[in-house]
Amino acid sequence: MLAVKTFNSDQDVFRRSMRLMGSNFEISVVGHDAVRAGQCIDIASAEITRVEKLLSAFNDDSPINEINRNAGIKPVKASAEIFRLIERSLSISDLTQGTFDISYNVPDAETVHEDKQPVKLTSYKQVILDPEKTTVFLKEKGMRIGFSAVSKGYASDRAKYILQMAGVSSGVINADGDLLTWGLKPDGLPWTIASADPEQESQPYARINISNMAVAKSGNLAAGDIAGQPQKVPGADSKKDCPDGILKSVSVVSPSAELSDAMATPVMQMGVNAGLCFIDRLQQLACVIIDDHDHVYTSREIDYLA
């Protein structure tokens, strides 16, 4: 575990990197004692592992697999945690008009054309929830749900909650560059993207205040090297300055890692104009969009965070 010394403060930032959920996680906590910090990081990593098992589609006894096995057959009783996660996911699907969708289908002989191309018969609207019985029913045979789009974000939110319950008043969870912060740095200043993840110091808007916020990025590797240093386009909030072309990356800022995770890819698919208009209609969300010409476009809320 790395202890980052700070000046003019009796607290340090204690960091540990680990491989969890197939991703590189770095958990940082602000505190006075290395032993106590290590214990807190242990319980946070244990919570992330628990979430991974809970949402896994590979374990035969996982609750998600039970729901999927009974697609087109019967409703399945779900735990309150799983039910609420599905409920929130369907709300985001409604909000994005289906651009975000946890449902997919496994093709069989009845769902494949003569040219062998699978037909997508499923949508989030065919996920039926019964709030009174807390059951989940997938209407179509061969239908499945999965949480790969939000699992890291949800795990980060849960780890933050566990750390706060353990008395950690400030920290950062970095999941493959997606950031979740709370509290303040030991010097009393807010966390920024650069201070939460020093590897992003050269990125545009690295100084954005993200204390008590989460940042998730969706990138298009085919568009080129995302690690460049694009320049902000003057008046980029104007539609005439926002050509809809190939996007390199979208970074979404919100109060929740799960929400930022869920929103990043839909905004990427919407393009510059639609993506900015979409985010600007929502409260407590902001985004930075970089196109394939290294132009940077920002939503209105970014000005309040910079």
Q: Are strands 295-298 and 231-232 parallel, antiparallel or unpaired?
A: parallel
Sign of CA dihedral 70, 151, 97, 272: negative
The predicted structure's pLDDT at residue 57: 80
Q: Are 278 and 267 in contact (CB under 8 A)?
A: yes
Per-residue pLDDT, 287: 95
Report the amino acid identity of residue 74.
K
* Token pair for 90: 């369907």
Please report, as a single letter, which amino acid is at residue 235: G
Predicted pLDDT at 71: 95
pLDDT of 236 > 50? The answer is no
Give pLDDT, residue 39: 97
Q: Residue 288: beta bridge partners? A: 251, 298
**Lowest mean pLDDT across 119-128, 226-235, 239-248:** 226-235
> 215: helix, coil or strand?
strand
Paired tokens of 79: 């735990």
Strands (E), 117-212: 127-130, 135-138, 143-145, 171-175, 178-182
> Average pLDDT for residues 280-285, to the nearest whole number?
94
**Beta strand residue intervals within the chain, DSSP E:** 2-4, 12-20, 23-31, 76-77, 103-105, 127-130, 135-138, 143-145, 171-175, 178-182, 214-219, 231-232, 247-254, 286-291, 295-298
Instruction: Give residue-wise pLDDT tens across range 139-196.
Output: 999 999 999 999 999 999 999 999 999 999 999 999 999 999 999 999 999 999 999 9
Residue 17, beta-bridge partner list: 26
Per-residue model confidence (pLDDT) at position 85: 98
Q: What global pTM score does this model have? A: 0.87
The CATH code of the domain at 63-145 is 1.10.3980.10
Going by DSSP bridges, is the β-strand pair 171-175/127-130 parallel, antiparallel, or unpaired? unpaired
Mean pLDDT value of segment 41-70 = 93
Helix (H, G, I), strand (E, B) or coil at 291: strand
Quote the tokens at residue 105: 């289908």
Q: What is the pLDDT of residue 61?
A: 82
**Is 303 a residue whose pLDDT tops 80?**
no
Instruction: Evaluate if residue 268 carries a pLDDT over 50.
Output: yes
**pLDDT value at residue 225:** 38
Give domain limits for the chain: 1-54+151-189, 63-145, 190-306
4-18, 49-63, 89-103, 194-208, range with the lowest pLDDT: 4-18
> pLDDT above 70 covers what percent of the chain?
84
Q: How many CB atoms lie within 10 A of CB 38?
A: 14
Structure tokens at 191: 């966390």
At residue 219, the pLDDT reads 83
CA-CA distance, 265 to 158, in Å (whole number)? 21
Give Cα separations from 37 to 3, 17, 51, 81, 247 (angstroms).
Answer: 10, 13, 21, 28, 40
DSSP tag of 230 = -
